[in-house]
Amino acid sequence: MQKKAFYSFFNQSKYLAGARALEHIPIELHSYDAVRPLVIATKDVTASGLKKIFVKAFYDSDVTIGGFYDNVGGTAAISTIKELRILFHDRGCDSIIALGHGPAMDTAKGLNMLVSLGVDDIFTLEGEDTISTPLKPFFTVPTAGSCGYDMSNMAVIEHHRFKSDFLFPDVVCLDPRMTGINDIGRAVESAMVALTHAMEASDSTMHNPMNDAYSLAAIQFIHENLPRALKCPRNREAALALAYANALAAVAFSNAPAGAAHILGEALNKLTGNDPGVCMAILLPHATEFMVGKDILMRDELLLAQAGMDAHASTPEKDRIKESENQLKKLMASAIKYVPANLKSLRIPPYLIEQAAREAEASGSHGLTFKDYMTILNNAGKAPAVR
């Protein structure tokens, strides 16, 4: 570890994880002097009956839910946010709880900026560290669908990116009743995003012990629990662990530069509408392989997180990197039913793939060239359909 290099690390969130976590929300709200949260949920929450559980959790507390908006669609839309501001003020709310996955969280973050900073057009805040005053208390209750973005310090609204430490949720409440998996495919996709973020955060040349604690924990969780979840989606413990992993990966992601697989995955998602989780999952093994080939360091702690102490200790030092690549491949293979093995099976036209590489280079946050990205993409394209 190059501890000489300066690093800074931050994570705002407090995690409540486990049985009856929801019932702890009122007391947490209290520690912020908040008593009237506005709840923002995605459409599916009501449908899958989670709303009932959530509301019941507030019984016998002195917290009144100022409003339960459960109509967030596929993306965080500025119009929704503006409407929610009216609701927020009308009910005199003093805090925000986001329930569900991505869009709800982003909407909540947008609303929080709007109501806390009193701006009229949040797009003036676009970019990094544009906020300098704390926002209103913001809690999140992720469900199974939420992925490695949602609990990060970033919000994406209408393709505008907002990044600030004040956008971290104050409390992340992981309750097995909420994180239960009902769509395993979706769960796998989000786990893959988390895995990508975690791996690339721990691999990135700027890793530091603090961030490692998070990313390695996330990786370990996923490697231990994704297979369990695949075997039995009803397994609540595994589901909870995956949700936890997502939350931790989000932190690692917030404190490290985005990696190649992440950048390419997003570009492909934008161009073709394929799920980012799928794209990243396909690209990740090849991206890491490429990095190793470029001997951009990939550390053997990784194997420790993937395979546990005994496996790591019993593997001779020089083989560890190879081994952890195999471990990754093994994991992907176990999820083959939901995540195809190569880009070919997504049938993306070559000219779009090139465009993706070009956009990835333009984003420039990882310092790879168009050629590098193309090699990764081509490897991913050629890979055998069965692992």
Partner 1 sequence: MILPKYSEFCGRVKTLSGASALEAIPGELKKMNSKKALIITDKGVESAGLIKIVKEAISKKGSKLTVGAIYDETPPDSDYKVVNSVASIYRNKNCDSIIAVGGGSVLDTAKGVNILVSLGGDNVLAYSGAGAVKQRLKPLVAVPTTAGTGSEMTLVAVIADHDRHIKMTFVSYFLLPDIAVLDPRMTKTLPASITAFTGMDAMTHAIEAYFCLGKNPMSDTTAFKAIQLVSKNILNAVKNPGDMESRLAMANAAALAGIAFSNSMVGLVHNLGHATGAVCHVPHGVCMSIYLPYGMEYNLHKVGDLIGELLYPLAGPEIFAKTPKKQRPRATIDYVRGLNEELKKATGGRHATALKDILDREGKQMVPRDAIPVIAKNAMGDGAKTYNPEEQSFDDNIMVIEAAWEGKPLDLKKIKKGPKNQKF
Partner 2 sequence: MQEIIGTSNKVLEVDLTTKKFTISDVDLKDLSLYMGGKGLGLKMLYDRMPAGVDPLGEENMIAFMMGVLMGTGAPCSGRFAAVTKSPLTGIMASASCGGPFGMALKTSGWDGVIVKGKSPKPVMLVVDSKGVEFRDAGKYWGMDTHKVQEHLDKIGSAVVIGPAGENLVSYANICSGHRFLGRGGMGAVMGSKNLKAIVAKGKEYKIVPKNQKKFARTRKTCMDYINNNKVSGNQYRNLGTNSHVMLSNKAGILPVRNFTTGSHGEAHKVSAEVMLTKFNAKKSTCKPCAILCGHKATFGGVDRIVPEFETTGLFGPNLEIFDPVIISKWNETCSLMGVDTISAAGTIAWAMEATEKGLFKSNLKFGCPDHIDQTLLDIGHAKGIGKELGMGSRWLSRKYGGEDFAMHVKGLELAAYDPRGAFGQGLAFAVANRGACHLSAAFFALEAYLGMYAPYTTWGKASYTAFAEECFDAVNSLHICQFTAFPVFLQPPLIRVLPTISLKISLSAMAPIAVQVMDLSIWSKFWSSITGIKMNMWQMLKAGRRIHVLERYMNTREGISRKDDTLPGRLLHEGRKSDPKGRTVPIDKMVPKYYKVRGYDKNGIPKDRTLKKLGIVKK
Partner 3 sequence: MNIDKYPELKPGKKYIKRYYVAIMLWIVGRAIQAACRLDKEVIKEFSELPEKFTFSLGVLPDGPFMIIGKDDKGRAKYMGWNKGRTRFPLEMNIKSLEAAIKVFTFQEGTATAFARERFIVDGDLGYALAVVRVLNIIEVYLLPKIITKLAVKRYPRWSEFSPLRKWVNRILIYIRAFTF
Residues 282 and 346 sit within 8 Å (Cβ to Cβ):
yes
Whole-angstrom Cα distance, residue 271 to residue 36? Answer: 41
Residues 246 and 327 sit within 8 Å (Cβ to Cβ):
no
Q: Which does 347 bind (CB under 5 to 8 A by kind): partner 3, partner 1, partner 2, none?
A: partner 2
Binding-site string for partner 2 from residue 335 to residue 354, where x marks contact by CB under 8 A and - marks none? -----------xxxxxxx--
Residue 214 engages partner 3 in binding (rule: CB under 8 A): no
Starting at the edge strand found earlier in the chain, the sheet holding 37-42 runs 67-72, 37-42, 95-100, 138-142, 171-174
Residue 309 engages partner 3 in binding (rule: CB under 8 A): no
Among 39, 41, 122, 217, binds partner 1 (CB under 8 A): 217
Among 109, 197, 262, 312, binds partner 1 (CB under 8 A): 312
Residues 10-39 interacting with partner 1 (rule: CB under 8 A): 10-21, 24, 30-33
Binding-site string for partner 2 from residue 251 to residue 290, where x marks contact by CB under 8 A and - marks none? -------------------x-xxxx---------------
Residue nearer to partner 3 on the CB measure, 40 or 230:
40
Please give the backbone phi and psi of residue 248, each rounded to the nearest 5 degrees, phi first: -65, -40
Residue nearer to partner 2 on the CB measure, 122 or 187:
122
Residue nearer to partner 2 on the CB measure, 271 or 297:
271
Query: Nearest CA to 383 among 276, 268, 290, 259?
Result: 290
Residues 36-95 interacting with partner 3 (rule: CB under 8 A): 36, 55-70, 83-84, 86-87, 90-91
Residue 2 engages partner 3 in binding (rule: CB under 8 A): no
- Following DSSP, what letter does each residue of 183-237 receive, concatenated? -HHHHHHHHHHHHHHHHHHHHSTT--HHHHHHHHHHHHHHHHHHHHHHH-TT-HH
As beta bridge partners, residue 326 has none
Residue nearer to partner 1 on the CB measure, 5 or 336:
5
Contacts of 287 (CB under 8 A, 6+ apart): 200, 259, 260, 261, 264, 376
Residue 176 engages partner 3 in binding (rule: CB under 8 A): no
Pair of tokens at residue 239 = 């589901």
Pair of tokens at residue 140 = 């999140």
Q: Which does 53 bind (CB under 5 to 8 A by kind): partner 3, partner 1, partner 2, none?
A: none
Q: How far is the CB of 186 from partner 2 (least distance, A)?
A: 13
Contacts of 207 (CB under 8 A, 6+ apart): 1, 201, 215, 256, 299
Query: Nearest CA to 38 among 101, 102, 74, 83?
Result: 83
Among 97, 104, 192, 240, binds partner 1 (CB under 8 A): 240
E strands, 83-137, where? 95-100, 127-128
Query: Nearest CA to 172 among 199, 189, 192, 153?
Result: 153
Among 139, 197, 314, 341, binds partner 1 (CB under 8 A): 314
Whole-angstrom Cα distance, residue 149 to residue 168? Answer: 11
Whole-angstrom Cα distance, residue 14 to residue 4? Answer: 29
Residue nearer to partner 3 on the CB measure, 38 or 219:
38
Q: Which residues bind partner 1 (CB under 8 A)?
A: 3-21, 24, 30-33, 129, 132-134, 165, 208-210, 212-214, 216-217, 220-221, 224, 237, 240-241, 244, 248, 309-310, 312-314
Q: Which residues bind partner 3 (CB under 8 A)?
A: 18-20, 23-24, 26-27, 30, 36, 55-70, 83-84, 86-87, 90-91
Q: Which residues bind partner 2 (CB under 8 A)?
A: 43, 71, 73-75, 77-79, 121, 123, 157-160, 270, 272-275, 346-352
